[in-house]
Amino acid sequence: MCCLSKEKIARITVDADTLRSEIRDKSVKVLDIRKEEDYKQGHVPGAINFPLSSLLSDDSPEKTLQYAQSFGIDDETYVVVYDDTFGALASRVAWALQYIGHEEVSLLDITYRSWKNLGLETSLESPSLEKKTHSLKLQPQILATADYLMPAKEKGAILMDNRERLNFLEHHIPGAINIPYRMLASPQNILRSKDELRRLLQNRNISHNSEVVTYCGSVGTLSGLGYYALKSIGIQNVKLYVRSFKEWESLEKPIEKQKDANYWDLSAE
């Protein structure tokens, strides 16, 4: 790991205190990825509501670009995203922005619930929006498609499934490893400390020069978090298989499962 700007690695997540001072300086656009009704009951001051469903209803780069511009995000704007779903929804939006070529985007390192529990300031006001222009520079190197996976795997790429363990045992893409999204978080933060993440991933034989493709159940949220966990410790060659297992299954591609065991019956859910 030599040739990377350290600053960019550090900017994967941002802590509450830094964000607060940046909000005061008006040097940041904050996106709140929760549902509209939750947003209306209070949010981080100045945050713009961008429910994940809005993005998912049409996640083409052109539409994402339109949203960004309507929020007043230009190529230089520093964006911070947060949610109340352990950072997974925020990750998906951050990734969508990076895919259209927006570089300056970070995840708030705690959820909105934690923000509130800490007694930090919240607001009921929606900010007024001023449209800006953003260029479209697609970043295909962070996207994986169904056709990409198997050839990449044969060349040594690691497929990382970020769903919960029982879902993974039930069915997964052949040869994938399972790192449930919960494994990436600490009790306080949406991602563990870099030291911990490095150790966890080294145990799994994932190193800085590995190529990793993350995927999850359907829309790339849990695996979005997986994507940023890897990025946060400086792994460069990471891709998100954004259509994930749902597409894989619908394409009737081969599927692997842990056979001859009734693991579901161990769950107390």
Which is nearer to another protein, 40 or 199 (by Cβ)? 199
Phi, psi of 211 (to 5 degrees): -95, 130
Which is nearer to another protein, 56 or 177 (by Cβ)? 177
Inter-residue contact 190 to 107 (CB < 8 Å): yes
Q: Smallest distance from the beta carbon of 139 to another protein, in angstroms? A: 31
Total binding residues for another protein by CB under 8 A?
Answer: 38
Strands (E), the chain: 13-14, 29-32, 48-49, 79-82, 105-108, 158-161, 177-178, 212-215, 238-240
Which is nearer to another protein, 59 or 83 (by Cβ)? 83
Place of tokens 């040594």: 156
Q: How far is it, in rounded angstroms, from Cα 14 to Cα 139? A: 23
Place of tokens 């961008």: 50
CB-CB neighbours of 128 under 10 Å: 6
Which is nearer to another protein, 89 or 197 (by Cβ)? 197
Q: Is 120 in the site for another protein (CB under 8 A)?
A: yes
Cα dihedral sign for 101, 99, 111, 198?
Answer: negative
Q: Smallest distance from the beta carbon of 210 to another protein, in angstroms? A: 14
Looking only at residues 143 through 172 of this chain, which bind another protein when binding is defined by CB under 8 A? 164-166, 169
What torsion, rounded to 10 degrees, do the Cα atoms 136, 91, 191, 31 define?
Answer: 90
Q: Smallest distance from the beta carbon of 224 to another protein, in angstroms? A: 18
Q: Give the residue ranges of DSSP H helices in the chain.
A: 6-10, 16-25, 36-40, 52-57, 61-70, 88-99, 112-117, 146-154, 165-170, 194-203, 222-232, 244-250
Q: Is 195 in the site for another protein (CB under 8 A)?
A: no
Q: Mark the segment that binds another protein (CB under 8 A) among 27-35, 65-73, 112-120, 227-235.
A: 112-120
Task: Write the Ramachandran bin of 205: left for phi over 0, alpha for psi from -120 to 50, otherwise beta.
Answer: left
Q: Smallest distance from the beta carbon of 45 to another protein, in angstroms? A: 16
Q: Smallest distance from the beta carbon of 140 to another protein, in angstroms? A: 31
Q: Mark the segment that binds another protein (CB under 8 A) among 1-9, 12-20, 87-95, 216-224.
A: 12-20
Binding mask 199-228 for another protein (x = CB under 8 A): xx--xxx-----------------------
Q: Which residues bind another protein (CB under 8 A)?
A: 15-17, 21, 110, 114, 117-118, 120, 164-166, 169, 177-178, 180, 182-183, 185, 187-188, 199-200, 203-205, 258-269
